[in-house]
Chain A
Amino acid sequence: MANKKQMDNQALTQKQTTPPLLEMRHISKYFAGVRANHNINLQICQGEVHALLGENGAGKSTLMNILYGLYPPTAGKIYWKGQAVDIQSPKDAIALGIGMVHQHFMLIPALSVVENVVLGMNCGRQGRLNLNEAAKKIEALAKAYNMSLDPWAKVWQLSVGQQQRLEILKALYKGADLLILDEPTAVLTPQETEELFNMIRRLTEANHTVIFISHKLNEIMAICDRVSILRLGEITSTIHVCDTCQQTLARLMMGGEELSAIEKKPASLHETVLECTKLCCRNTRGLMALKDLSLSLAGGEILGIAGVDGNGQSELADAICGLLTPESGKVRINGVDMAGKSARAFLEQGVGHIPEDRHRRGVVLSMNIRENFILMNYYKAPMSHKHLLDWKLIDRLTDEAMASYQVKAPDRDALMQNLSGGNQQKIVLARELSKAPSLLIAMHPSRGLDFGATAYVHNRIIEARDRGCAVLLISTEIEEILALSDRVAVLYEGEVVGQMPAAEVKTDTLGLMMAGALRGAG
Chain B
Amino acid sequence: MASVLLAFVVSGVIIHLCGLDVISAAKNMIEGSLGSKNAIAESLLKMGPLIFTGLAYALAARCGLVNIGAEGQLYIGGLTAALVGIYIPNLPAPLHQLFAVLAGFVGGGLWGFLSGWLKVRFGSSEVITTIMLNYVAQYLINYLVSGPLEEPPGTFPQSRPIVESSQLTRFLPGTRLHIGIFIALLCLVLFYFFLWKTTHGYETRVVGANPEAASYAGMKPSSSVLLCMFLAGGCAGLAGATDILGIQWRLMPNFSNGAGFDGIAVALLGHNTPLGIFFAAALFGIVRSGANLMQMLSKVPVSIVNILQALVVLFVAASNIVFLIARRRAIARAARRDSAPEEPNAPSEIP
Question: Which residues of A line the B interface, CB within 8 A?
Answer: 30-33, 72, 74, 321-323, 342-347, 353, 355, 360-367, 371, 374-376, 378-379, 384, 387-389, 391, 408, 410, 414-415, 417-420, 422-423, 450
Distance, CA A365 to CA B205, complexed state (A): 12
Cα of A391 to Cα of B283 in the assembled complex, Å: 33
Q: Nearest B residue to A345 by beta-carbon distance?
A: B218
Q: A367-B206, A371-B202, A418-B348 are in contact. Are A362 and B213 (CB under 8 A)?
A: yes
List CB contacts (< 8 Å) of B203-262 with chain A. Answer: 203, 205-206, 209-210, 212-213, 215-220
Could you tell me if B202 and A30 are in contact, using CB atoms closer than 8 angstroms?
no
- Closest beta carbon of chain B to A381's beta carbon, Å: 11
The residue from A321, A346, A379 contacting B199, defined by CB atoms under 8 A apart: A379
Could you list some 27 contacts between A and B, CB below 8 A?
A30-B338, A33-B341, A33-B344, A342-B218, A343-B218, A355-B216, A360-B213, A361-B212, A363-B210, A365-B210, A367-B205, A367-B206, A371-B205, A376-B218, A379-B199, A388-B197, A389-B198, A389-B202, A410-B347, A414-B347, A415-B351, A417-B348, A418-B347, A420-B344, A420-B345, A420-B347, A422-B345
Q: Are B351 and A74 in contact (CB under 8 A)?
A: no
Given contacts A30-B341, A420-B345, is CB(A353)–CB(B216) below 8 Å?
A: yes
When the two chains form their complex, are residues A32 and B342 in contact, meaning their CB atoms are under 8 A apart?
Answer: yes
Q: Does the CB pair A361–B202 fall under 8 Å?
A: no
For B219, give the chain A residue with the smallest CB separation. A344
- 0 or 1 for each of B272-303: is its CB under 8 Å from A? (1 = yes): 00000000000000000000000000000000
CA distance A414 to B351 in the complex (A): 10
| Interface residues in B124-170 (C-beta closer than 8 Å to A) | none
Asked if A389 and B206 make an inter-chain contact with CB atoms under 8 angstroms apart, the answer reads no
Selected contact of B217 from candidates A366, A375, A450, CB within 8 Å: A375
CB distance from B221 to the nearest CB of A (A): 11
- Cβ distance A395 to chain B, nearest Cβ, rounded Å: 13
Min CB distance A258 to B, Å, is 24
Whether A389 contacts B197 in the complex (CB less than 8 A), given A361-B213, A365-B210, A375-B217, comes out as yes
Q: Which residues of A sit under 8 angstroms from B209, Cβ to Cβ? A: 364-367
Q: Are A384 and B348 in contact (CB under 8 A)?
A: no
Contact of A384 among B199, B205, B218, B334 (CB under 8 A): B199
Question: A387–B345 contact, CB under 8 A?
Answer: no
The yes or no answer to B271 lying at the interface (CB within 8 A) is no
Size bracket of the B interface: 20 to 34
Task: Report B's interface with A, CB cutoff 8 A.
Answer: 197-200, 202-203, 205-206, 209-210, 212-213, 215-220, 334, 336, 338-342, 344-348, 351
Contact B206 A364 (CB under 8 A): yes
Are A364 and B215 within 8 A (Cβ)?
Answer: no
Rounded to whole angstroms, the CA-CA distance of A343 and B216 in the bound complex is 7
Contacts of A389 in B (CB 8 A): 197-199, 202
The 9 A-B residue pairs with the shortest CB-CB distance in the complex, in nearest-first order: A33-B341, A344-B218, A418-B347, A74-B339, A343-B218, A364-B210, A408-B345, A375-B217, A32-B338
Q: Give 7 A-B pairs besides A364-B213, A378-B202 with Cβ atoms closer than 8 angstroms.
A: A323-B216, A362-B213, A365-B209, A378-B199, A379-B203, A389-B198, A422-B345
Between B206, B220, B348, the greatest number of chain A beta carbons within 10 A of the residue's beta carbon is seen for B206
B-side contacts of A376, CB under 8 Å: 217-218
Interface-central residue, A32, A363, A379, A418, by most chain B CB under 10 Å? A32
B323 to chain A, nearest CB (A): 14
Give min CB distance, A426 to chain B, whole Å: 11
How close is A510's CB to chain B, nearest CB, in angstroms?
30
State whether A360 and B212 are in contact (beta carbons under 8 Å apart), knowing that A344-B218, A347-B218, A367-B205 are contacts in the complex.
Answer: yes
Instruction: Output the least CB separation between A110 and chain B (Å).
Output: 21
